[in-house]
């Protein structure tokens, strides 16, 4: 009677406390329904052998769905199947009979866009299958068979990212979104949705797949984002500030370069006006101008005018200067003609050498062919017509001898023509040599006259130097004016002011959001929720202070004595299970309170009651034997199921669904609010039908995993 009374008041307190706290004191958790809607409507298995209908396992949305059953019935395959169909990179479905009997695994989910059927084939020897089969509709009609894939898992991941409305920016602005600070993905959020058998009461691991470095570091990076401390808007502003700061550094360097060049130029402006006077480019009264604007206008006018035709003062012009200029023109002309004559002489010398080589070649051919005439004469003079060398008749070789005689005649003709070429070459050679001597004499005369003028008139020489100096001076002035005008007209100062103003504006907006403050508030709300939930479960100290450590990815527990311990420092499987459930449910309560959370409103627990019968499981001898929970632990286990049911039924307006697969039977959770029995797998009923198993493994009697 005492136990029943205690149980009654504990249940009443649980109902009042949980609903009152989660619905009243934290009403924001349940007045919003912005958590990503993703409810599992069905799990579907398609058989590998024909003749069987698909195995369809239905679930109720917004409820705690319970699958209860004995060992080796497939319970522990539920999370891997859902995870695999949600585009996991690997297939964690246990190998054995279930993968031998099933060809395709699928889930039917309800989303904001309607229903989606996500199916994926059994991967065989591969870690996972790349291809997938997807149907999208308001109400999906599940096909009897899947013949072939129509998409791949990368496209499905992209669809899930879009449904979650995840930011496209990385969470690490400094590293430009690389590495663990890259953009969050839907797959990262699965850490908050699954508590498999090896995690649900694990003191060392709190979140799904957080036992690997890759997932652990990524989870740490995205925690501020999923907790709402970093919103997509604030993240975009952070990236905008970072971009503007880089642009500001570039603009400042540009402005500093212009400013430095301008200061140097301004300091030299007076010297340049004086140099312009010395070059005869300005009058003496220009030296009296002192204002920067006046001097700048003067130099601009010089740059526009260019080099004057007579860049010396009027009283410096003499007839010798004009003559000197004319001589320079004539000297240039003569040098050109002289170069042409030399080129023609070189070509003529090359041609003469070629003709000599040709004549030598003809002489050699003539020597070789001259024997042919002697042979022909011998044939005509001899009565017998025999060869004097070999004593053979000449009649059979008459044509060959005639052909050699004809070739000899051609060679002799070419030789006569080649002998005429030197006569023509000699005439042209003499003509060009005469022209070369005449041009050389003229050039020497011009050089003598030019040197004479230079010796007689130092001013002509100065004119030449002065012209070059004026050209260099005006070029430098023009380049300096371009740089100066670019600084004035570039708008760099205005651009810098605009960028700085925009940065101040964005920082003010970010400052109002106060990332650290938002994160602290979110963690405080989370701690209160965890403490309330843990007090209704089976914690060793129901009044302990709790905090989620987002760096260590675990729960910190504090007592009255002021000591704070991590989860792995505590004993008792009941404590570990309590804090796992409290943390995961409190997180989903927080997600529902956000304006828009990308985390799906789905939580799957695999055999949470296992901590209450470890010795029974270890000593079990029969495969199908169902472990029983001791009477003293029944109350504790029932409290967990009661919290599950009230969580889904109390999340007003929220699309939150819990799936629990467990050994615990109806006597534990029957009659609890928000709890829905999916199926009971006992007495031969399993995830995979027996006839499927017999079809692929007739001699197998071990059932399926889990």
pLDDT greater than 60 at residue 21: no
Summarize pLDDT for 199-225 with one digit per residue, the tens: 999 999 999 998 888 888 888 888 888
Name the pLDDT band for 80 (thresholds 50, 70, 90): very high
Residue 402 lies in a domain: yes
68 vs 324 pLDDT, higher one: 68
The DSSP letter of residue 386 is B
Q: CB–CB of 690/94 below 8 Å? A: no
Helix locations, 542-626, DSSP H:
573-593, 614-619
399 CB-near residues (< 8 Å, 6+ apart): none
Q: How many domains does the chain have?
A: 3
Q: CB–CB of 242/264 below 8 Å? A: no
104 CB-near residues (< 8 Å, 6+ apart): 45, 46, 119, 120, 121, 122, 133, 146
Structure tokens at 424: 């023509």
Cα separation, 657 vs 139, in Å, equals: 19
Give φ, ψ of 605 to 5 degrees: -110, 135
Q: Does residue 326 share a domain with residue 299? A: no
| Mean pLDDT across the chain | 77
Residue 631 lies in a domain: yes
Q: Does residue 137 share a domain with residue 253? A: no
pLDDT greater than 90 at residue 580: yes
Tell how strand 114-121 and strand 102-111 pair up. antiparallel
Question: Which residue, 532, 525, 529, is CA-closest to 16?
Answer: 532
Q: Stretch 229-249: mean pLDDT, rounded?
A: 75
Summarize pLDDT for 296-335 with one digit per residue, the tens: 777 777 777 766 654 444 444 456 667 777 777 887 887 8
Q: Which of 482, 498, 514 is the last residue of a domain?
A: 498
Residue 207 lies in a domain: no
Q: Which of 467, 498, 529 is the last residue of a domain?
A: 498
168 vs 1 pLDDT, higher one: 168
Res 440: pLDDT: 82
Name the pLDDT band for 108 (thresholds 50, 70, 90): very high
Q: Does residue 433 share a domain with residue 345? A: yes
Residue 512 lies in a domain: no
Q: Does residue 445 share a domain with residue 327? A: yes
CATH of the domain at 421: 1.10.287
594 CB-near residues (< 8 Å, 6+ apart): 32, 34, 35, 228
Q: Does residue 387 share a domain with residue 277? A: no
First to last CA, the chain: 38
Residue 137 lies in a domain: yes
Give φ, ψ of 58 to 5 degrees: -85, 150
pLDDT greater than 70 at residue 19: no
Domain that holds residue 51: 38-165+600-706
Summarize pLDDT for 473-511 with one digit per residue, the tens: 777 777 777 766 665 555 677 788 888 888 888 777 766
Res 680: pLDDT: 93
Q: Does residue 405 share a domain with residue 299? A: no
673 vs 392 pLDDT, higher one: 673
Q: Does residue 88 share a domain with residue 47? A: yes
Question: Which residue, 685, 650, 555, is CA-closest to 207?
Answer: 555
């Amino acid at each position: 009677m005492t136990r029943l009374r205690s149980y009654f008041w504990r249940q009443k307190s649980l109902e009042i406390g949980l609903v009152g706290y989660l619905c009243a004191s934290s009403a924001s958790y349940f007045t919003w329904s912005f958590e990503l809607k993703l409810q599992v409507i069905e799990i579907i298995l398609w058989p590998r052998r024909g003749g069987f209908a698909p195995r369809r396992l239905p679930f109720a949305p917004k409820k705690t769905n319970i699958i209860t059953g004995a060992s080796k019935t497939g319970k522990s395959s539920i999370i891997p199947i859902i995870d695999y169909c949600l585009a996991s990179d690997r297939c964690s479905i246990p190998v054995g009979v279930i993968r031998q009997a099933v060809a395709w695994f699928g889930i039917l989910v309800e989303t904001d866009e309607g229903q989606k059927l996500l199916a994926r084939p059994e991967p065989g020897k591969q870690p996972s299958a790349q291809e997938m089969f997807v149907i999208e509709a308001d109400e999906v009609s599940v096909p009897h068979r899947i013949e072939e894939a129509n998409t791949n898992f990368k496209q499905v991941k992209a669809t899930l990212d879009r449904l979650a409305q995840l930011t496209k920016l990385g969470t690490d602005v400094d590293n430009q979104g690389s590495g663990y600070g890259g953009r969050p993905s839907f797959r990262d959020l699965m850490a908050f949705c699954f508590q498999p058998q090896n995690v649900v009461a694990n003191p060392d691991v709190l979140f799904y797949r957080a036992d690997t470095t890759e997932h652990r570091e990524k989870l740490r990076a995205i925690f501020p984002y999923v907790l709402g401390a970093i919103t997509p808007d604030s993240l975009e502003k952070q990236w905008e500030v970072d971009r503007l700061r880089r642009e500001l550094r570039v603009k400042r360097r540009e402005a500093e370069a212009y400013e430095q060049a301008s200061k140097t130029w301004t300091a030299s402006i007076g010297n340049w006006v004086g140099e312009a006077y010395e070059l005869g480019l300005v009058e003496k009264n220009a030296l009296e101008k002192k204002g920067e604007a006046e001097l700048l206008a003067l130099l601009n006018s010089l740059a526009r005018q260019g080099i004057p035709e007579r860049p010396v003062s009027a009283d410096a012009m003499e007839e010798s200067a004009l003559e000197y200029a004319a001589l320079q023109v004539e000297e240039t002309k003569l040098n050109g003609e002289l170069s042409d004559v030399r080129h023609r002489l070189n070509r003529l010398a090359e041609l003469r050498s070629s003709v000599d080589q040709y004549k030598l070649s003809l002489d050699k051919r003539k020597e070789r062919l001259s024997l042919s005439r002697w042979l022909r004469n011998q044939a005509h003079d001899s009565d017998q017509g025999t060869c004097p060398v070999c004593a053979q008749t000449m009649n059979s070789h008459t044509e060959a001898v005639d052909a050699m005689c004809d070739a000899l005649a051609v060679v002799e003709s070419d030789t006569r023509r080649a002998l005429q070429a030197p006569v023509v070459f000699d005439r042209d050679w003499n003509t060009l040599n005469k022209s070369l001597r005449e041009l050389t004499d003229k050039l020497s005369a011009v050089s003598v006259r030019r040197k004479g003028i230079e010796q007689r008139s130092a001013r002509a020489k100065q004119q030449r130097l002065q012209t070059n100096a004026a050209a260099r001076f005006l070029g430098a002035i023009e380049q300096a004016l371009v740089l100066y005008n670019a600084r004035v007209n570039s708008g760099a100062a205005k651009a810098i002011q605009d960028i700085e103003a925009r940065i101040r504006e964005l920082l003010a907006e970010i400052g109002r959001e106060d990332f650290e403050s938002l994160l602290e508030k979110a963690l405080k709300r989370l701690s209160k929720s965890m403490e309330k939930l843990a007090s209704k479960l089976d914690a060793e100290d129901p009044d302990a202070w709790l905090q989620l450590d987002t760096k260590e990815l675990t729960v910190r527990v504090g007592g009255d004595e002021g000591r704070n311990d991590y989860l792995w420092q505590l004993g008792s499987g009941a404590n570990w299970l309590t804090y796992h459930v409290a943390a995961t449910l409190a997180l989903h309560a927080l997600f529902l309170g956000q304006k828009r959370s990308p985390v799906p409103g789905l939580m799957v627990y695999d055999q949470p009651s296992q901590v209450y019968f470890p010795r029974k499981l270890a000593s079990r001898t029969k495969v199908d034997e169902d472990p029983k929970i001791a009477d003293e632990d029944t109350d504790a286990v029932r409290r967990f199921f009661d919290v599950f049911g009230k969580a889904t039924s109390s999340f007003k307006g929220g699309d939150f669904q819990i799936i629990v697969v467990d050994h615990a039977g109806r006597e534990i959770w029957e009659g609890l609010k928000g709890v829905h029995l999916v199926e009971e797998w006992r007495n031969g009923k399993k995830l995979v039908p027996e006839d499927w198993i017999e079809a692929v493994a007739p001699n197998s009697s071990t059932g399926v995993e889990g």
